[in-house]
Amino acid sequence: METELQGKLCKNFSGMVVKKTDLKSVFGTLNIPSYVRDWFVRKYSDQEGNFNAREGLRNLRKIMPESGEWTAVLDKIMEGEQVKILARTSVKMSIKTGQVSFTLPDYGVTENDTYISPDVWNKVKGSFLSENEGWGIVVLGYTRVAVGKNFVGKVALVDYADFRPYNVELDYYKKARSLFTTEEWIDIMLGSIDYNADGFASEEQKLTMLKRLMPFVQARLNLIELAPKGTGKSYLFSQISKHGWLVSGGSMTRAKLFYDMQQHREGLITRYDYIAFDEISTMTFPNEDEMKSALKGYLENGKFTVGNKTGKGTAGLILLGNINQSDMNVNKNMFTTLPDIFAESALLDRFHGFIEGWKIPRLSESIKMNGWAINSEYFSDVMHKLRDDETYANLVNQLIVVPDNADMRDTTAVKRLTEAFIKILFPHWQEKEDVNNEEFIKYCLTPAVEMRAVIRKQLSILDSEYPSEMNVYTSSLEEKQEA
């Protein structure tokens, strides 16, 4: 049943909403992220938002075969047929040979199997140079390529169309936000990431969930979250946005994260808005000193040096881990299960804030979105574009009064976190006159200080040189009111 808020949402975000109703049972085990799923649901839904599952899934199967069906696809290609599929695609450029190839990770197709001709590359490279990897409509064919004195068969990229069904206008989004109350907007944000606001017991639970969106909107924001199992950490960081990357356990090298000197290839940190290390307690870091040195430089200023290569990125680093109930206490050492590389205070100090994930309810049927919500594809692109909007940094500089003798890293953290809260909850605030001081303190400044204060407390537990208490940051609007 459509609620009053959902009707208001449909009116003001017409064309950017989709009815999210029991979608998990419809799509089953299909490996399809939310931002692709929502577009497909909308395409095969009527005006009331009812999804024609039979027709939609039949057409989805046509352009998105399962991984086990790749052999049949390859057979068609080798017989001279061109095949069009929807797939996650990335390109690889060889400095040695000058050839361009591509990968289809979900089908196990590597750069050794593929080829992009110079003509095709000139046509499609605009889609890849900005993203490196993304979802798109891929047209595949078969060709033979000279390798030394021999000709080798390759899967050829015939054409590529970026999966970008929306043109995002931030001004429209900001103006539309002004038509909703803060309470309404919090619920809308939850629906955009597939959660039903009615499934949360309190506003604190809702806001803690939305803290996970902060790296989506804020460049180089570094966070740590510890939470019980089953609170949806992996889902949000892997399924909602194509601009982020989730690494789940395993080994992480400097070459993969920053720069591979042998392959002359830039790493993950240069290609995404955030890199989330899931199951952080199980991750290993070969050559820890090497990695630690690279991380310190990057987390401080966004730059890295590997050999003779100097690079930069805007990705934030997110550490995600599980925590036992007995350890959910900010006044004790909560980081005992983190890899040793993160046990050094100088590195930990470069993380801006901490998310108390135990305040997020365990996922249940009642927490799944059921009704109209902003399309995840549109929403993820809005979040991505907000990262580059300098309006908010200027606004925060005007709003926050920095105390005398404040720690520089504390100030940087509080400002970045505050800016992220504004982008998520109050994107329509463009000038100081737009700001409601009470809401600014409650929803932006105070939670930003609290998130940084946890890092500060953990630092003092690890290293006695760090004071456990922070200076007091205030709002300039309060001073104006007092005057």
DSSP labels, 415-432: HHHHHHHHHHH-TT--SG
Q: Which two tokens mark 289?
A: 């000193």
In this prediction, residue 371 carries a pLDDT of 87
- Percent of all residues in the chain with a pLDDT value above 90, rounded to a whole number: 64
Hey, which bits of 242-315 come out as E strands?
Answer: 244-248, 259-260, 265-266, 274-278, 303-306, 309-312
pLDDT (tens digit, 9 = 90+) per residue, 261-270?
Answer: 987 888 999 9
Q: Is 80 exceeded by the pLDDT of residue 2?
A: no
67-162 topology per CATH:
OB fold (Dihydrolipoamide Acetyltransferase, E2P) (2.40.50)
In this prediction, residue 87 carries a pLDDT of 86
pLDDT band at 483 (very low <50, low <70, confident <90, very high): very low
CB 226 within 8 A of CB 334: yes
Q: Is 80 exceeded by the pLDDT of residue 40?
A: no
pLDDT (tens digit, 9 = 90+) per residue, 358-408?
Answer: 999 998 888 988 889 998 888 988 999 999 999 999 999 999 999 999 999
Interatomic CA distance for residues 168 and 148, integer angstroms = 47
Q: Do domains 67-162 and 202-360 have the same CATH topology?
A: no
Q: Is 80 exceeded by the pLDDT of residue 47?
A: no
- The per-type count for the chain, helices as H runs and strands as E runs, is 20, 18
CATH of the domain spanning 202-360, picked from 3.40.50.300, 3.40.50.360, 3.40.47.10, 1.20.1560.10: 3.40.50.300
pLDDT band at 285 (very low <50, low <70, confident <90, very high): very high
CB 451 within 8 A of CB 353: yes
Q: Is 70 exceeded by the pLDDT of residue 57?
A: yes
pLDDT band at 28 (very low <50, low <70, confident <90, very high): low
In this prediction, residue 24 carries a pLDDT of 62
Which is higher by pLDDT, 133 or 277?
Answer: 277
Residue 4 makes CB contacts below 8 A (sequence gap 6+) with none
pLDDT (tens digit, 9 = 90+) per residue, 445-456?
Answer: 999 999 999 999
pLDDT (tens digit, 9 = 90+) per residue, 172-206?
Answer: 999 999 999 999 999 999 999 999 999 999 999 99
- Mean residue pLDDT of the chain comes to 90
In this prediction, residue 31 carries a pLDDT of 66
Task: Locate the domains of the chain by residue range.
Answer: 67-162, 202-360, 389-482
What is the DSSP-derived secondary structure letter of residue 407?
Answer: -
